[in-house]
């Protein structure tokens, strides 16, 4: 048994080490994105990016302020490094550049691009209502308040913040010429050149106050779900000549290789939404429609507290509807809420403490009344927890599934309390697995009873892949969100 334990642990350690050192991967072929999870398990996991930003996911958040970037106008005296890493064209950025109005200070590390090909100029990673743009720029920042560099931040749940800019072929863009004129010097993989600093702000859209915001991941291996994404609503343009210069000038192979592989179409396909919503900083037109449930933050907090430490038997007896306020309102985008609700709705994030992963057991990982752990998650540190979930055999599918089982519920809960997701049934059942058996079972029966009273419920559950193991843990995250009960949908938004 000891040797088996050592063997499984060693396999998992090697898996995570391979993800950290950057095993070979491509966008197509034998090492293409469908094969990434074999060496990078999180690529098959939860809260992955990019996504299709569809109208049905949008929720207006009045607390989202215009993005403020500092020190983006670099002097020509400063030297930047332009490089070809075999996957993209990348420009190093000085850490004095930062985003100033997020919860933490996020300092710049680099920017890079994803693009299509000369024959198919559709290469953005994020899409909007299924529209794919010609290219996409990512300006990558790390949480410099908590971590000394991007390497230390990359696998933390609050480690990265990325500004995404959608690019369309259209008018000539003079800002792009600052680096495109040097592109011939990085034709092959690992080649680098120096270029003078310039105004990075000019690469962004004019308006920084309208954007989409959601919790996601790196779009390349190891795919850690550690990114706070900000995708600007307005795109920028480059000329046809500028786009072709980017799409045809580079190779993914080394200069000494006999066969050179063109570097283009370097984008990942849209990923599962995993119960997330997309917050938007604007409220007029373009996809903001449908009903939005208004629920004060203290009531959302009460829902979670009751699940974590409350009397579940009473909760089951009283009925889950009792947790919802009697004056719950439905709003359509553009309408006004009750003025009496504004005070409680105005500061949702300040009134909520975020749970983070920690190296704690299933039953005591929650601290305080709300059971919210103080430690920030290092995703690679989940190895010890994953190992305990594996039994007799190890294979890549089992590893990926176990990672989803472990990571998804707490990421969903964190995102839910930050108003960036709906509270999904697998998360509820994961919480119940740490509660007293009798009470949890009674509440689970209440959920099951509610499910039975809904039409086509059994079919929906089967498609979603949700089930409860004898130990109470949840399995796969539903590909299609199933909400068996209205209490799973409390959101607090205002116009």
How many alpha carbons fall within 13 Å on the CB side of residue 370?
19
d(CA 361, CA 490): 28
Helix axes 437-452, 457-464, angle to 10 degrees: 120
| Catalytic residue check, 394 | no
Among candidate residues 363, 359, 352, the one with its CA nearest the CA of residue 375? 359
Residues 446 and 320 sit within 8 Å (Cβ to Cβ): yes
Which one of the listed residues 39, 87, 104, 126 is annotated catalytic? 87
Three-state SS sequence of the chain: CHHHHHHHHHHHHHHHHHHHHCCCCCCCHHHCHHHHHHHCHHHHCCCCCCCEECHHHEEECCCCCCCCEECCECCCCCEEEEEECCCCEEEECCCCCEECCCCCCEEEEEEEEEECCCCCCCCCCCEECCEECCEEEEEEEEECCCCCCHHHHCCECCCEEEEEEEEEECCCCHHHHHHHCCHHHHCCCCCEEEEECCEHHHHCCCCCCCEEEEEECCCCCCCCCCEEEEEECCCEEECHHHHHHHHHCCECCCCCCCCCCECCCCCCCCCCCCCECEEECCCCCCCCCCEEEECCHHHHHHHHHHHHHCCHHHHHHHCHHHHCCCCCEEEECCCCCCHHHHHHHCCCCCCCCCCCCCCCCCCCCCCCCCCCCCCCCEHHHHHHHHHHHCCCCCCHHHHHHHHHHHHHHHHHHHHHHCCCECCCHHHHHHHHCCCCHHHHHHHHHHHHHHHHCCCCHHHHHHHHCCCECCCCCECCCCCCCCCCCHHHCCCCCCC
User: Which residues form the catalytic set?
Assistant: 87
């Amino acid at each position: 048994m000891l040797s088996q334990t050592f063997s499984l642990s060693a396999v998992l350690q090697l898996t995570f080490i391979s993800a950290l050192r950057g095993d070979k991967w491509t966008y197509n072929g034998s090492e293409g994105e469908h094969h990434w999870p074999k060496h990078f398990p999180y690529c098959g996991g939860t809260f992955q990016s990019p996504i299709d930003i569809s109208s049905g996911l949008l929720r207006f958040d009045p607390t989202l302020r215009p993005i403020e970037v500092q020190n983006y106008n670099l002097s020509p005296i400063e030297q930047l490094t332009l490089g070809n890493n075999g996957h993209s064209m990348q420009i190093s950025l000085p850490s004095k550049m930062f985003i100033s109005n997020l919860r933490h200070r996020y300092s710049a590390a680099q920017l890079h691009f994803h693009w299509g090909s000369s024959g198919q100029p559709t290469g953005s990673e994020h899409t909007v209502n299924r529209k794919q743009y010609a290219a996409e720029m990512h300006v990558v920042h790390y949480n410099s308040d908590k971590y000394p560099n991007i390497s230390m931040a990359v696998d933390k749940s609050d480690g990265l913040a990325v500004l995404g800019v959608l690019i369309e072929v259209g008018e000539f863009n003079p800002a792009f010429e600052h680096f495109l004129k040097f592109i011939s010097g990085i034709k092959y993989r690992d080649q680098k050149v120096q270029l003078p600093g310039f105004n990075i702000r000019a690469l962004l859209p004019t308006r920084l106050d309208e954007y989409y915001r959601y919790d996601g991941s790196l779009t390349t291996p190891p795919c850690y779900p550690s990114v706070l994404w900000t995708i600007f609503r307005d795109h920028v343009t480059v000329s046809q000549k500028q786009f072709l210069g980017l799409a045809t000038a580079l190779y993914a192979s080394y200069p000494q290789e006999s066969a050179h592989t063109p570097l283009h179409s370097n984008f990942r396909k849209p990923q599962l939404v995993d119960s997330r919503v997309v917050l938007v900083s604007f409220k007029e037109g373009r996809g903001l429609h449908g009903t939005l449930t208004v629920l004060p933050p203290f009531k959302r907090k009460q829902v979670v507290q009751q699940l974590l430490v409350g009397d579940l038997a009473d909760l089951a007896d009283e009925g889950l509807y009792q947790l919802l306020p009697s004056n719950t309102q439905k709003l359509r985008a553009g309408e006004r809420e009750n003025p009496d609700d504004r005070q409680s709705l105005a500061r949702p994030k300040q009134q909520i403490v975020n749970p983070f992963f920690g190296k704690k057991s299933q039953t005591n990982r929650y601290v305080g009344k709300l059971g919210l752990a103080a430690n920030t998650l290092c995703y690679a540190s989940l190895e010890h927890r994953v190992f305990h979930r594996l039994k007799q055999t190890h294979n890549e599918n089992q590893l990926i599934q176990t990672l989803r089982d472990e990571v998804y519920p707490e990421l969903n809960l964190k995102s839910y309390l930050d108003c960036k997701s709906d509270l999904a049934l697998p998360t509820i059942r994961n919480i119940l697995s740490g509660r007293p058996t009798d009470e949890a079972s009674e509440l689970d029966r209440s959920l099951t009873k509610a499910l039975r009273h809904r039409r086509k419920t059994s079919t929906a559950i089967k498609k979603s892949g949700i089930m409860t193991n004898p130990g109470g843990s949840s399995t796969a995250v539903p590909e299609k969100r199933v909400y068996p009960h209205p209490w799973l949908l409390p959101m607090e938004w205002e116009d």
